[in-house]
Every structure is written in structure tokens, then in C-alpha cells.
Structure 1
Amino acid sequence: MAYIQIGNPNNSSSQSIPLDNIELNTRYGARTDNYAPPSGTPPDRDTKNVDSKTAFRSSEAPVNSWPFHSQRAAALTPSRMSLMVFDAILASSPIMFVALALTAASLDGKEVSQYGDRLRQTLLLSPTIFPLIFAALMGRFFRHLGVYLAERGTTLGRLEQLVGCQSVFSALERQLCLRSWSVVGLFSIIVWLLSPVGGQSALRLLGQESNDITSTATVRYMDPQTISTSVILGASSANSGRSTFTSIFLAALLSSSKYQATPMDLWGNVKLPIYRYIENSTSDEWKEIQNTTNANVTYASLIGVPIVGPPSAGFSTFNIKARQFDITCSSNKMMDRDKSGFGNLTSTWKLHPLNLSKLCGDNKDCKVPDCKSYPCPILSKSMADDTNFTDLQFSVANCEIFFEYFESGVRCNGTSCAVYKMKKLDLFGDGYTKELDNLTRGNFLSNEMSFMPTVDNYNVGNAGARGSTNMEKWMMDPTDFIGARYNNVELYRLPPEVFAERLTILYNTFFQSTYGSLALGGHLPQNLTQTGMMTGTSYGSNITFNGTEATVLQESKMVYKTNWKWFTALLVCSLVLLAASYTGLVLKYITLAPDIIGYASSLAMLNPYVPIPTGGTTLHGLERAALLHDLPVRIGDVCAKQPVGAIAFGKADDGLVARLDRKRWYI
């Protein structure tokens, strides 16, 4: 052999040496190193006059505070007690994750606060902090467990699995490389998988949600059939109700500059948009209305549909039904008096069915021809200027009027409501018969065209000389029309589309002021929700309200929501880590054997090729490395002069440990 057997330096015989004759010494070259330390208490580490060179050759640097005298294993020294305090604090660090989990659980269902937001910010750090602490504590646990078992006796394979288990990869590597799938190895892999689970569970532990409550309620709106109670059924009833509809109509008209583009009128009734503007927006039956609070929506009337019942708080959604007029115009141009057929100058504006002037002329008793079906052709004639009465000009618009039935979806935020979708229904539905439609076309239509143009100058002498009515001036410019001007506006300057839009708004506004007037001003009676009807002296009429089901969403402030699955995962991972850290702490301080497994300095312990001072067997691996910090070492050939080499860990500067050669053979 190319190496010398310890205890038989002459190698004169191959006879085995009894174990009780083996001495703690070895021959290294021409020097014999004795590993048995002298008896007695080691000198004080703080003593400066200790000559530590006695344990070294004269050519070697001294090692300060080397324990070359005998001492007890795991002696309780001040430094060891300080380290114990540090280890206890470190082992208790998983408690903060348990505290975070319990604190997050306590916030479940509570309103969002600065305290909770700070906790969420802290939880965002957990995916970084938890794996670091887990690796530190769980790695220490497996190491201390391995040293504890090594002191009491275990197998080398099990020791390698425990000491080398410092991550998921290393635990799996030990299982594969040792070619032994043991329960300990599988347990270590499962335990290390808790590290990413614990970090991610903290990140997903606490969220936010709204604790909204959805319910249903009954909302009532004015029955579309209420139009049959309009006071313009005949001339006599219209004259009796003139004071009522005049004030309502003019109040809405004079306030239009502010409320024209709002989804509710000045009394809080819900207005319906002009349907033909959204009719081709989609192929669906329901036509969605975008930006209901935007001025781009054009509403068909300045007076809306009265509703009662939306909750004062929360969001509600329901449907209502209503009928309204729509007017389109094919032309709007200037004509002289003869071609316009305006007739006597008893007013500045006249509305009538097409060809009325040819049928009746100036005969005041001539009956207005009935409109047989929709659309009904009508003419609008307005005086255009008043420079003289011999060469007057008139604005003449050729239009058609429709009467239509709609269902509208209404969305309310508290009592602030807006129509957000519409669909067209069959006109003859929900009790509206052809007989009632004949009444609409034969009476309401013609009477409105008779009463509306003179609503603000009725029974005024020489009305034609007082300038355009408020209605005409509003059509010319809805934003600037109020005041005594005594001139005639030139409506022919308006494009037919714009004229038709504004005439539609006026026509519907006037018609809605002639029925259900008791319900238009708001403050509807509370018992309306039970009876669905309100009575009054509105010329003997009763106003019926239809009920519709509303979906009510009561929103609440954002609250914290604890994810209980991730809460359980974090709590389990933290408790497992806490148990492992405390167990490792106990094992560390009840184990007498120094922790030398897995340290590079442990390769120099009682190594015949690394001469070191006497003693030091009670040192931990890191303590030994600190004292031998500058010792040159090498893994090399300790039998360089022999035919077959031997690889070992030895001291590098003695010239007896050669470098390894790829072409050389080693035992």
C-alpha cells in the first residue's frame, strides 16, 4: 500500500492491530502528531500571555484561543447563553405569520380602513420573507435532528438525508442519489413544499368586496291609459282646463334651457328619449341608450312620466310603459302669404292637418278632417317677419305625426332616475283599442293643434302684431328665447330635421300637461303604493298607477374578505414551521455532540494529513473554521511518490499533498 497504517509506522507486518492499542497519533512525513490533549482545565480565553505556539511547529502561525486543554462538551458559557437567546428569538419568528393570519381573520366583514390597508401592504412582503425564514429555520431543524440522532446512533444514509435536506431540490436529490425512497425522505420533501404555499397564501389571504344587498320592490308609474282623461277632449273641457295646462306647459317651456337635456323634468318625472334616434342603433329588440346623463340624448318631452316608489337609497332598475307622439318633416321653407294659405292674422302660428285651408278656407265652422291612420300629415305655418303687413313672409313646414307605444327600462340612483333602454310595442296593447285611437286622432290631435299655438296669447287683441309666441321663439333657439321682443322669428332657417325634433318636444310637452296634472308636481300620496290610484278634482278624473317590479341594489362600503382556504394554509404552514423551529432549538441544546457535520473545517478534525494543535474536539464546525481560517488546505494526492495515489484532504503548504493528475491512478 502506498499509505502508512496509523499505529504501525514501520509497516513491517500486515498483522491487524487491536483497537485498544490504537493511539491518537499519526506519522506525517517525519513528524508525529499527538491528538490526545493534556488533562486539566483549559486556560482563560481572554488571557493574553498564553503561548499557543507550543502546539504548533515554530514555522506556523499561532492560533489564538485554541482550546488545547481538556474541557466539557456543550459547556454553558456566556457566549453560548447569548447565542441561546438569539436562537430563541429566531425560532419565535413564525409567530408573526400566525399573528398576521389571525389579524386578517379578525378584519373579515369590516369596512376598509387605513389599518387594514397597512396590513395588506405587509402581507405583500410575505412571499419574500416567509420562504427566507422557512429555509433558515427548517434547515436548522433537519441539521440539529441529524446531529441529535448521530449522537445516539443512526445510519449514514439517514444522517445524509437529514443533514443534506436544506431545500426541496436537495431533499429530492438525496432520495434519487441514495437510491433509497424512505419515509424520512418523502416527509422532508413534503415539508419543504410548505415554503411556497405559506408565502403565496399570505399574498392571497385578504381581499376586498362590497357587501351589497339585492332585493325587490314595487314601483308605480302613471298608467298610459290616463291620456283618455285629457282635458282637450273637446272645446268646452279644454277651455275649462286652460288655466291648468297653460301654467304647467309654460313652466316646463321656460325652464327648458336647464332641463331640456336632463333625464328628469323639473318636478322629478322620468323623460323618454326620442325613439327614432336610437331605433337603428342595434338589431336587438331593446335599444340601449348611451350616456343618459349626457347632453347628446334628446328627450321627446319636457315633461316626464310620474313614478313613485324608488328607494331613496341604493340602485333600482324597473320598466315602465308610455305613449308619445313623434313628428318628422320633409320640408321647411319660406313662402309668401298667398302661397302659404295662412289666412287671417289672428295668431302668429297655426297648426292643422294638410290641405285644411283648401277644404275649409276661412270658414271657422268647418270641421277638421279626421286623420284615418298614422302618420297624419300636418302643416306648421309661422309668421316670419313684421316689417309691414303688405308683404309678409311665412315659414311653412310639411310634416307627419306618429303616435307610438314604448316600454322603457329605468335605472335609478336613489330617486334620481333615467331611461337607459327602450323597445317599441304594438300601439294597440294594454287596453288601448281602435276606438280610443279614433278619439286620439279625431279629438286630441286636432284640438292640440288648435289650442297649443295660442296658449300664451289666447284672447289677446291683434295677436298677430305682438310678435312670435314663446313656442315659436323656443323652436328657433331653446337657449335664448325669453323676454319681450315683439318680433317674428324666421323658423324657415331651421333644417327640417331640427324643426321636427323641436316640434316633437313641444307637441308631447303640451299633450302631457293636459292629463294627470295632479301627479305631475311630485309629492304623490303615500297610500298610492297600496291602492295604485289617486283621486282628485281634475275635472272628475281618476289617475291610475301601474305597478312594476324593481330590482333594488343596496350598496355598502367596501369591506375586507378573508379567504379562509388560504388562511388555513398560512396558519398550518406557520404552525408547522414554529413547531419545527422550537424542536430544533431544543435538540440543539440537549445534544452534547458538536455540530461538525457538513462543515469544511470538520475534514481537518483528527485528520493525519492536517496537523493542527492539540485538542479542539468540542468545537462546532463554524468555531473550528474561525480558528483555522488561514490554514492552507487542498484535496490532493497524499501518496504522490507512490505508484498508485490516494486522494485525501490535507494541508497544502507542506509539499506532501500534490495536485491531482487526470492520467494518474488512485485507490
Structure 2
Amino acid sequence: MPIQTNIRTGPASSGSSPSTSTLPEFDFEKGFSEKASPLQSVSPQSLNAKPWPERPQALQNDADVWKSLESLVNVVMMLLPLPFFILIATLMIINGKPVSAKRSGLLGFAIQGATTVFPLFFGACVGRAAVKYAHWRLEQGGALGNLEQLMGSKTIWATFHTHFRLRSFNAIAAVLMLAWCFEPLGVQSVQQILTEVGKPTTVDTTVSYINSRQQSYSSPSGSFQNQWFAGFSVLFGSSLLSTADAKNSTMDLWGNVKIPYLANIRDAGAQMDKDGWVQVPTNVTPIYSSIFGLPIAGLLNGNTTFNVESSYTELSCGNMSVAPQIPPPGSKTNLISDAGPFMSFANVTLSDPWALGYQGPDVAAFQKGSDGPYMRPKSCPDCLSSDFFTRQVDSGALLFQEFSGFDNTTSVVCTPSQQYIESTIFCIKTPALLTCRTTAQRLSLLPHMPSTITPLSFPEVVLGLTALLPNSTPQYNAVNMVENYIYNPSVQSTIVSGETSLGMNQGQTPLMDVSPKDFGDRFGQLLNAYLYASQWNSTPYLLRAPFEGIENVVTGGNAASFVPATPTDLTAMIQNQTAAFTVRTSTTTKTPVYNVYYSWLSMFLLATLVMLAGAIISVIYENKTIIPDYLGFVSSLAKDSEYIKMPDAGINMDGLDKARLVKEYKVRLGDVSDIEEGRGLIGRLAFARMEDTVSVRKGRLYI
């Protein structure tokens, strides 16, 4: 039975309407007759040679094979955002967790992978959504401009280019351009989401430090001179020859923290708080009480703040005086000798460039039950009985003399006093570095002897000091390390003999240019270094030897204590001459943890939601659309061209299916006019089979 339908039999002339024709029944043996081009009745390119489906067909979108394939594609599209949601959830979970090498490796790989595939997945979801929605709008009917907007929005660049070319800035344009903006934002956000920061973690700990108030074993013939003095001389000279930066550093050459002069910090204008604390300025280099620092042990990695008790001898010096030498035979001075008035271990010889002598009371003479001149081996203020807390004792005087050849003697008289200080120490320790500095000081609140009683109040200490300190460095008239340090501690070149040497300079020693205060501070640094080093446990002062080495050594006092001490305990330990104290403190460590920037995470989540929305939209409109994919395919252009006659069969085939059947046929956008070449001026531009066209020529008119 013939089927009546409206069919297009050829190119319609202007104003004509479709005609009604009778569609013949399909002959399965002969097939359809060849549809020829209107320009040529017989074409060498047979379109009917391919296995076209029979026609006519009902429109449907649920063909078994296509449905299975498209369902698989839809499932894949819906799963594309899933890895990014998993990454977002993982980042939220690990936020604030400690950093581990394995976890960092996995996260780095995931973020790097997300950075790579996010724009691909995003483009697939959003681009497909635009195309599927365009096909649905085509089926429902819509403006041609809207279809062009949608079909031209398959990539971010194409989206902006299409809309600016179309001059179409409507709701569709706003949605499309806004959606595509999330592609670069998503890539950028995933790169910025995660970082590692240090999370402060405070733990209770203990710190040990050497007792600087121990007794001195300074003696010209004792164990200090026989066992340790040679090593002390090497390290003492190294400190004198160190750079200005090392001398001004908060720590000595061996990593021990230096204790400043409290009086100098006050003189610099630092204010005292209600508890007596004075903050050590950070913008000014303080003057330290010794070139050797206080040894500390037990520090953990991190930031640690703790208080230490220490003591040092401070010198207050008067004006320098220069007088001609009128010495007795064989000597350079009549003031310093083994008989006084300024006591020294031996007389000053003609080869001595400088000498020391002390004049003052011997506190051992006041000690009850003492028959001898010395209190050996207890030569320290804290070794005295409690009777001395209220006793008035003269501080005495320390005389320093420098000799300029055989002509003049420069003399400086200093008054010693003992200062008892509590200092706050702040340390930063890492696996590779330790830095400590004194941040605040105040006068010690623990019981102590009067400041007039110093280590120099014990003759045993004075004898060792006057005998050994001058011999701790090479002695030359023109080049002497101790004198040069007093003259200028920051300039190493002064140790070289020449204009800046300490010989006569235009009739006057360079030391006359040093103020009495600077002299007292600088020589006091050397004096305290010697007194610290002459203690029984002096090795850690210089070499940071493990404190465990003095844990069981009780010679000259008690062993080091590693039990946390209270202020009351410290008082008793000082009286017992405990070698080292241990105090409670806390250490703040910055543990590396993962830190997620939620602003970037929110941006990445929003971009992923846009991707998911694109996938959902593409699936919804794929299922709602009945017509096959038509837009955007060259085969669709061929079907609609009046110069290419394709079979009307395959109504359910989309553009790619038809393109697969006709992919070998050659086409051209060329001239299809009937006028013989050269006989007309106007050509006709059309999409047609290649043999039905001629190439266009530059300058010719076309319609």
C-alpha cells in the first residue's frame, strides 16, 4: 500500500511549495534508486552503496545498542567529579594532622593529578551539557542565536569568543561564561589548598645548667695548673682572637649562653618592672660579663624559656695614671710583689709586659676555727658560713699595671664586687642549630653573701690569678693579646705589631685612650673567664661536655643534680656546691601539620559542583531529547545541501553515524554555477560533492 508523505524532490524555486508525491514501496532486492545531483545525473560517488537503514523510521532515543553505549557514557560523566570530591573530603580530614612523608607523597601525587585532569574533566562535563541542552532546545524550538551560543561554548576560549562575536550578552551568555570561569579557578585553587605549617605544641621539660657559684681551684701549683691550665690557655686565646661578631654574639664559640652585665643594661636606659626585671634590649648589643658563656644541657627541639642563677665579679675602675718606673733592681714595679702591698704570686720581672696584684682582707682569717691563712679547698663566697651574711668586709682593690719598656708604668686600680643575678634565657633549638640569648635580668632573690666578698677575697685564688692569667697568652712587649683586647676587643688587627701595638705611641700608651668604665668591663670579662675556668667542673664551660660526666663526681662539692629544683632547693644546693642545677620549664615545638586554606577549598568545591551540575544536565537533556545529535556535524550540512542527495533513511542516526558512512566522499565549498568557465561573472557558492564544483577564484563575484 503506498504511503503518502511530503518529500523534497529537488531544489525548490523561489515561492514554490513542497509537492505531494507517492513514495514507492521498498524493493529489498533492488534497493532505492540512486539520487543524482541536480548538476549531474550520474555521479561516480554512489551514496547508496553504503548499508543505509530502511526508511521511514519512528524517532526514538532508546535503541538497544545506542542506549547501552549512551548509558555507559552517562555513568562515566557522572563519575568524573567523584575523585575531586574524595580529594576535598581527604583534605578536610587531614587538616591539622601531623605531617608524614608517606602521607605527603600521596597528597602531592593526588594534587598534581587533580591539577592535570581537572580541566579535562570539567571541559567534558560542561561542554557536553551545553551541546545536549542545545539539541533539546532545537527539538523544542528556539532562537538560532541561542543555539549558536550553546554550540559555540564547548571550551572556555570558544565560549568567550563566540559571545563576543555574536554580541549576545543575555542570560545564557552569563551562565555559560560564569560556568566556564570555574575551570581555571578550580585548577588554581587545587594548587593552593594545602600547605604545611608549624603548630605550637608545649610540653613540660627540664633544663640543667652549670653552677657558676662553685668554688675556684685557682692555684699556682694545684690541679688546675697541672691538668687544665694548658687547655684553658688555648681556648682563652681563641676567644681573644675571634671575630667581632663572635665576641658580640649571645653565645660563645662553644655554644654556651653569655650573661650580660646588669649594670650596663640599666645604664643603657632599660626600665625595671615591679618585680625588678630589666629587659635586655634587642637593638643594642649588651656588654657580657665573660667571654665564656654558661653551659646548658637538656634542651629539646623547639623554643624554651627558663631562668638561671649565676654570679660574676664586676670591676669599678678609677682613672689611669702614668708614672716613671722607679723599680727596685730586677723589677719593673715596687707595688706588686709576693710581699705586697699588692699581693702577687711572684715579683714582677723585667720581661713582664703587665702584671696584677690584689690588696684586701683575707676572709679566711675571720673564719671561726680556722688556724691557717687559707680555707682550702673551699675558696668561694658561698662556701662561707652564715656568719658572713651580716659581716662587714672590705672589698679590697685590684691593681693592673702595664709597662712601656723600662720608662713608664701605667696603673689602673679597680674595686671588685660580686653580683648575684637571675637571668631569663630563651633558646631555639633545631636538629641543626642552637641559639640562646639572655632576654631579662634582675638581682637574685636567693640568699647570698655581701657583694664585697668576691673570689679575690681568698688568697689562694689571688695567687693563682696573678701567676697564671698573665701566662695564659704569649707575652711580648709590642704584641700582647690581653692588652690589645682591653684596648679594642673588636679589631683583630691590633694584635699585629705596628702603629696600633701597645708599645709607646708618641710617648703615651694607647691604653690611655680607654675609659675607666670600658677598662673595667673588658678586663672583668677576662677575669670572670679565668674564674669560671678554674672551677672544678670547668670543662663543660668551654667544650660543652656532657653533664653526665659530673653526675657522680663529688670532689670539691656535690655531684650534678638532675632532679628539678625549687628556689628552696637551689639555696641548699648552692651552699653544698652542687655542680649543676636542674629546673623545670616548658618547650614549645612547632610540629609540622597540614593546613588547608578553606577559602581555596571552597572555590575548588564550587568548581567541582559546577562540573557535577554539567554532568547532571547533560544526562537529563540526553534522556529528554528524541531527535538525534544533529548540530555541529559536517554530515548534517551534506544532508541539508540541495547539491548533495543523501538517502532519507537513517532518521535515528546522529551526525557521527552518518559521517561514518560517507567519510570517504569528497566535498567542497565551491562554485556550483551552470555557466561554463569564463562565460559569466557571477558564481554560486555551495557545499557540494567535489566533482560538482569548481574552485573559487579570488576577485570573482559569488552568491
Q: Calculate the TM-score normalised by the size of structure 2.
A: 0.60
Cα distance, 1:120 vs structure 2: 1.8
Equivalents in 1 of 2:206, 2:305: separation in Å?
A: 11
8 A contact 1:316–1:413 mirrored in 2: yes
Match of 1:300 among 290, 293, 305: 290
CA contact (8 A) 1:231 1:515 kept: yes
Check whether the contact 1:123–1:203 (CA below 8 A) recurs between aligned residues.
yes
Shift of residue 414 of structure 1? 7.3
> Secondary structure at 1:212's aligned position in 2?
strand
1:190 aligns with 178
Match of 1:420 in 2: 437
How far the C-alpha of 1:452 sits from its partner, in A, is 2.6
Q: Does 1:523 align with 2:557?
A: no
Match of 2:509 in 1: none
Aligned to 1:454: 463
Contact 1:94 1:577 in 2 (8 A): yes
Structure 2 residue 442 is the aligned partner of structure 1 residue 410? no
Give the superposition deviation at 1:158.
2.3
Q: Structure 1 residue 554 and structure 2 residue 589: aligned? A: yes
Residue 537 of structure 1, CA deviation: 9.0
Q: Does 1:535 align with 2:519?
A: no
Structure 1 residues 507 and 628 mapped into 2: Cα distance closer, same or farther (>3 Å)?
Answer: same
* SS of corresponding position for 1:561: strand
**Counterpart-to-counterpart distance in 2, 1:154 and 1:10:** 25
Alignment CA distance shift 1:339-1:511 (3 Å): closer
The aligned counterpart of 2:281 is 286
Q: Can you list the C-alpha shifts for 1:385-437, whole angstroms capped at 9, x where unaligned? A: xxxxxxxx9xx996665869899763335799865368999xxx899xxx977
Matched, 1:577 2:564: no
**Percent identity between the aligned chains?**
20
Residue 598 of structure 1 is matched in structure 2 by 632
The separation in 2 between residues aligned to 1:620 and 1:10, in whole angstroms, is 26
Whether the aligned pair in 1 keeps the contact of 2:359 and 2:396 (CA below 8 Å) is no
**What residue is the counterpart of 1:207 in the other structure?**
195
Which residue of structure 2 lines up, in the alignment, with residue 236 of structure 1?
none
> 2:193 touches 2:600 (CA, 8 Å); kept in 1?
yes
Secondary structure of 1:583 counterpart: helix
Counterpart code for 1:315: N
State the AA in 2 paired with 1:97.
F
Aligned residue type for 2:281: W
- Secondary structure of 1:194's counterpart equals helix
- Please give the secondary structure, in 2, of the residue aligned with 1:338: coil
Q: Secondary structure, in 3 states, of the residue corresponding to 1:149?
A: helix
Q: Deviations over 1:4-23 (max 9, x none)?
A: x9769897xx7743x4x256
Compared CA separation, residues 8 and 109, structure 1 to 2 (3 A): closer
C-alpha RMSD over aligned residues:
6.1
Preserved CA contact (<8 Å) 1:274 1:298 = yes
Conserved 8 A contact 1:127-1:199? yes
The SS at the match of 1:476 is coil
- What corresponds to 2:380 in structure 1? none
Q: Deviations over 1:39-98 (max 9, x none)?
A: 489x9xxxxxx9999667765245664415225544625466345424532442221111
Q: CA deviation at 1:131?
A: 1.3
1:338 paired with 2:331, answer yes
**Residue 67, structure 1, aligned to residue 105, structure 2:** no
Amino acid at match of 1:300: S
Is 1:88 aligned to residue 88 of structure 2? no
1:353-392 maps to which residues of 2 (within 5 A)?
377-379=399-401
Task: Note if 1:507 corresponds to 2:527.
Answer: yes
2:150 corresponds to 1:165: no
Contact 1:635-1:647 at 8 Å conserved across structures: yes
Does the CA contact (< 8 Å) of 2:129 and 2:617 recur in 1? yes
Q: In structure 1, what is the Cα distance between the partners aligned to 2:673 and 2:632?
A: 26
Question: Is the contact made by 1:289 and 1:420 (CA closer than 8 Å) also made in structure 2?
Answer: no
For 1:337 and 1:559, the matched residues in 2 are separated by: 74
CA drift of 1:454 comes to 2.9
**1: CA distance, partners of 2:162 / 2:255:** 78
Corresponding position of 1:110: 97
1:648 equivalent in alignment to 2:686: yes
Moved more, 616-625 or 639-648: 639-648
| Preserved CA contact (<8 Å) 1:352 1:380 | no
Query: Alpha carbons of 1:204 and 1:424: their partners in 2 closer, same or farther (altered >3 Å)?
Result: closer
Unaligned runs of 5+ in 1: 25-35, 44-49, 233-240, 279-283, 357-364, 382-392, 457-467, 478-488
- 2:527 partner amino acid: Y
Q: Distance in 2 between matches of 1:318 and 1:527?
A: 13
Quick one: which of 453, 477, 480 aligns to 1:494?
Answer: 480
Instruction: Output the amino acid matched with 1:508.
Output: N
Q: How does 1:597-636 map to 2 (within 5 A)?
A: 597-613=631-647, 615-636=649-670
Offset of residue 576 of structure 1: 2.5
Q: For 1:337, what is the secondary structure of its paired residue?
A: coil
- In structure 2, relative to structure 1, the CA distance for the partners of 1:470 and 1:148 (3 Å cut) is same
Structure-1 separation of matches of 2:412 and 2:21: 126
Alpha-carbon contact 1:410-1:418 (below 8 Å) kept: no
Cα gap change, 1:271 to 1:665, in 2 (>3 Å): closer
- Contact 1:330–1:399 (Cα < 8 Å) also in 2: yes
| 3-state SS of paired residue (2:400) | strand
8 A contact 1:323–1:403 mirrored in 2? no
Determine the C-alpha separation between the residues in 2 that align with 1:82 and 1:10.
Answer: 39
